[in-house]
Amino acid sequence: MTYKLGVHVSHWDTQPQWGLLKAAGFEFAYVKATEPPPYMRGGYDPDYAYNTREAKAAGLQVGNFHYYRNSVDPEKQARLFLGACYLPTDLPPALDAEDRRPIDGLEARLILWLSIVAEATGKTPIIYTSPSMIWDDIRPKTSTLASYPLWLACWSKETPIAPPPWTAWHIWQQGDYYTDVGRRSGVMIERMSTESVCPVTGMSIPPHGDPAKTTM
């Protein structure tokens, strides 16, 4: 399997020098856009605009993500994200699902966010999560989530196997950091599968409405 290298960033990361990342071979970036109050003031990542603009200007393909909170209405979170993402992007939106606070019906709540964003954007969102989150917290009872490509957080040197109900992952967060970007701290490295990819975006994700044809 071959990969494209990418990063994901938020306000917690010192603003990277995107030109250095591009020169180092990184091809895509996922930039945090939102996280609902009271966890983030106003709900908007203060570096969203800077990172989105500068990453695109440096020649990287860019997508935005929302940090999901289990205790907040998923429809409100979807509307927050849709209202915040005013800059053009190349990659599908993504949902960061790693809040470990117990809540009933988490699978259905995540699907609601994903479906609202898919309907509004015409793009099939990606869901970011970990094997332990899937097994212990989401506990999927249907295969519906698998119609959304998986961004798998699995900090391992070995290529991971996607946990059910997925049969493959689309992006793998390996857990390594790249630090040679003119800053004190590193950025997390992501690996995107390049098998059967779209020649325009580099991603093999169909328009929303035909999830059965998703190739990961």
**pLDDT tens-digit series, residues 142-173:** 899 999 999 998 877 788 889 999 999 999 98
In the chain, what are the domain boundaries? 3-213
CATH number of 3-213: 3.20.20.80
SS (H, E, C) 27-82: CEEEEEEECCCCCCHHHECCCHHHHHHHHHHCCCEEEEEEECCCCCCHHHHHHHHH
**Would you state the pLDDT for residue 8?**
87
Q: Residue for token digits 């494209």?
A: 4
The reported pTM is 0.85
Residues with pLDDT less than 50, the chain: 181-185, 196-216
**Would you state the pLDDT for residue 10?**
87
**Would you state the pLDDT for residue 201?**
35
Check: CB of residue 125 under 8 Å from CB of residue 155.
no
